[in-house]
Amino acid sequence: MTEPTQRAIAPQPVKLEVRGISKSFPGVKALDNISFRVRRGTTHVLCGENGAGKSTLMKIINGIYTPDQGTILLDGKEVTIENPIHARSLGISMIFQELSYVPEMTVAENIFLGRWPRTKLGTVDHKAMRTRTAALLKAENLPYAPEQKLKDLTVSDIQMLEILKAVSNNSDVIIMDEPTSAITQKETQQLFLKIADMKRRGACIIYISHKLEEVFQIADEITVLRDGCIVDSKPAGELDIDQVITMMVGRRIGSKYPFEDVPCGETLLSVTGLTGEGFGDISFHVCKGEIVGFAGLMGAGRTEVMRAVFGIDSYEGGQVVFGGKALPPGDIRGTIDAGLVMLSEDRRRYGLVQIRSVLENASLPNLNQFIYGGRLHRKQENVAVTRACASMNVKTPSLGTTVEALSGGNQQKIVLAKWMLRNPKALLMDEPTRGIDVGAKYEIYKLMTQLAKDGKGMVMVSSELPELLGMCNRIYVMCQGRIAGELKRDQFSAESVMALATGIACNAS
């Protein structure tokens, strides 16, 4: 029997096209003559390092920024997108890399923010809003109540609601900027099924992600940006991960994880029997020169443990000993002064003051270094912050630039820079590479390796299992608020971690 003849499939019509888009901010040209097209029923992935211009381009398409030059076409017709509300009326929705929500508002109010249903009298129809929200949540199998306030939810919960908000508009163009940066593998697969469903109905998705493995699961076409310019744009089948990385960073990156097995010193941090809301009987230790990982499914209690150790949240029982001395519960200042610092999971909410400058953010916890004789010595402050930002390779027009104007990756580097100014003894790092490109991740991994060689201790909480396996000496795995097991490096495997994280290994024993 002869093989059936394959028929050529005609390419889908172009839904969105940008031509010659350029955009400058004070001191930097963010986009330089960008042109690309997105076809109906396809996923077009944008790749590039932090600061390459991806988010700026998407904000232009969504009406947040106005381009200095260039045109945007929808279905072949030129449009001028005035603001996000206008963009939504044109069928364009966007999920932002930095979560855009109002903590004091409910789930329902956040989902319908800017488009609240109205009664005949013109007031907000809260009943209709709650009813529609409940239906959306049920359809997507999300376990939230319409009346819940977002301040009571985790970052991963809020990320899922941001995705729901965007897809609920039934838009023709959906922009997804790092949508999986704070959600689990299971939730990611649910999102991919949703994307496939949207493609079937003819919608197009512009997808930004630094997780290149997932990019090749869903991409139809890939465009790579570097320094505000397009390097290349090709069908996904014509590229591989190494080619994309080389185009992104302009060079080849060797080993993905520059781990070095540093001889461990004395115990630096010891946690015994820690019990609080969402976790119980937590005991672990970190030695000098050691990188200790914390793995687990979303909701396992990893972040809650780190917040309690650092002193952000109270706990009911147990003890935290650092450098041989017990740390009092809830004493953040004492913890920092002792030499233990923390990179929070939500850098926007807890790590930075968005409307203040790079200089102010980096020096904020370090002002005592620059104040003497009753005044702040600006010259020393500038020199120290400049050196710290240079060591982190922060891309910013100036130290006076507000943090909110920078990419998410550069914001994370500033969080690191501010703590490096203190020369800490140990770091609690909660999702330190969330939303960061492959080049910046490698820089952070190298920094971690150097800190270990300098005798620092580190705890690394991550939802990216490969980086835990690649960068840690030991891994504690949490399951339902408790430590399910500890793995040494010669015991590492994805299967062993997941068996503990899901409770399979515990039940089997």
pLDDT, tens digit (0-9, with 9 covering 90-100), for 247-281: 887 755 556 788 898 889 999 999 999 999 989 99
The string of pLDDT tens digits covering residues 452-499 is 999 999 999 998 888 999 999 999 999 989 999 999 999 999 889 988
Is residue 307 included in any domain, yes or no? yes
pLDDT value at residue 201? 86
User: Of all residues in the chain, what percent carry a pLDDT higher than 70?
Assistant: 94
What average pLDDT does the segment 13-27 reach?
90
DSSP class of 252: -
Residue 306's pLDDT band, with cuts at 50, 70 and 90, is very high
Q: Does residue 437 carry a pLDDT above 80?
A: no
Give the residue from 249, 275, 299 where a domain finishes.
249
236: CATH: 3.40.50.300
pLDDT value at residue 6? 36
For residue 13, how many other CB atoms are within 10 A of its CB? 11
Q: Are residues 67 and 204 in the same domain?
A: yes
Q: Does residue 309 carry a pLDDT above 80?
A: yes
Q: Are residues 210 and 279 in the same domain?
A: no
pLDDT value at residue 343? 93
Give the residue from 221, 249, 277 where a domain finishes.
249
What average pLDDT does the segment 353-373 reach?
91
427 close to 419: Cβ distance less than 8 angstroms: yes
Q: Which residue has the higher pLDDT, 340 or 85?
A: 340
Residue 285's pLDDT band, with cuts at 50, 70 and 90, is very high
Q: Are residues 234 and 317 in the same domain?
A: no
Q: Does residue 37 carry a pLDDT above 80?
A: yes
User: Which residue in the block uniquely carries the two structure tokens 């949240």?
Assistant: 313
The string of pLDDT tens digits covering residues 92-111 is 988 887 667 888 899 999 88
Which residue range(s) make up the domain with 31? 14-249
Q: Which residue has the higher pLDDT, 464 or 37?
A: 37
Is residue 441 included in any domain, yes or no? yes
What average pLDDT does the segment 307-320 reach?
94
Which of 159-163, 200-204, 368-372 is the least confident region? 159-163
Q: Does residue 353 carry a pLDDT above 80?
A: yes
Is residue 368 included in any domain, yes or no? no
Helix (H) or strand (E) holding 244: helix 241-249
Domain total for the chain? Answer: 2
What average pLDDT does the segment 435-447 reach?
82
pLDDT value at residue 87? 93
Nearest alpha-carbon partner for 59 in 103, 21, 26: 21
What average pLDDT does the segment 23-52 reach?
88
pTM over 0.75: no
Task: Name every residue whose Cβ is closer than 8 Å to that of residue 69 and which is 6 or more positions away in sequence.
Answer: 20, 21, 22
Nearest alpha-carbon partner for 292 in 488, 478, 451, 441: 488
Q: Does residue 143 carry a pLDDT above 50?
A: yes
pLDDT value at residue 194? 84
Amino acid at 264: C
Q: Are residues 60 and 207 in the same domain?
A: yes
What average pLDDT does the segment 137-157 reach?
85
DSSP class of 7: P
Is residue 375 included in any domain, yes or no? no
Q: Are residues 298 and 227 in the same domain?
A: no
Q: Are residues 288 and 238 in the same domain?
A: no
Is residue 400 included in any domain, yes or no? no
CA 493 – CA 489 distance, rounded (Å): 9
Q: Does residue 507 carry a pLDDT above 60?
A: no
pLDDT value at residue 505? 53
Is residue 354 included in any domain, yes or no? no
Residue 2's pLDDT band, with cuts at 50, 70 and 90, is very low
Helix (H) or strand (E) holding 159: helix 155-167
The string of pLDDT tens digits covering residues 375-397 is 888 999 999 999 999 988 888 88
Is residue 360 included in any domain, yes or no? no
What average pLDDT does the segment 8-15 reach?
70
- Residue-wise DSSP of 19-33: EEEEEEETTEEEEEE
For residue 490, how many other CB atoms are within 10 A of its CB? 5
Q: Are residues 93 and 54 in the same domain?
A: yes
Is residue 130 included in any domain, yes or no? yes
The string of pLDDT tens digits covering residues 205-246 is 999 987 888 889 999 999 999 888 999 999 999 998 888 888
pLDDT value at residue 4? 37
Q: Are residues 308 and 221 in the same domain?
A: no
Q: Are residues 283 and 241 in the same domain?
A: no
Q: Are residues 71 and 213 in the same domain?
A: yes
Give the residue from 249, 283, 302 where a domain finishes.
249
Residue 181's pLDDT band, with cuts at 50, 70 and 90, is confident
pLDDT value at residue 98? 67
For all residues of the chain together, what is the average pLDDT? Answer: 88
Q: Which residue has the higher pLDDT, 209 or 326?
A: 326
Q: Are residues 312 and 457 in the same domain?
A: yes
Q: Are residues 190 and 273 in the same domain?
A: no
pLDDT value at residue 9? 42
Provide the 3-class DSSP secondary structure of residue 62: coil
Q: Does residue 192 carry a pLDDT above 80?
A: yes
User: Of all residues in the chain, what percent carry a pLDDT higher than 90?
Assistant: 53
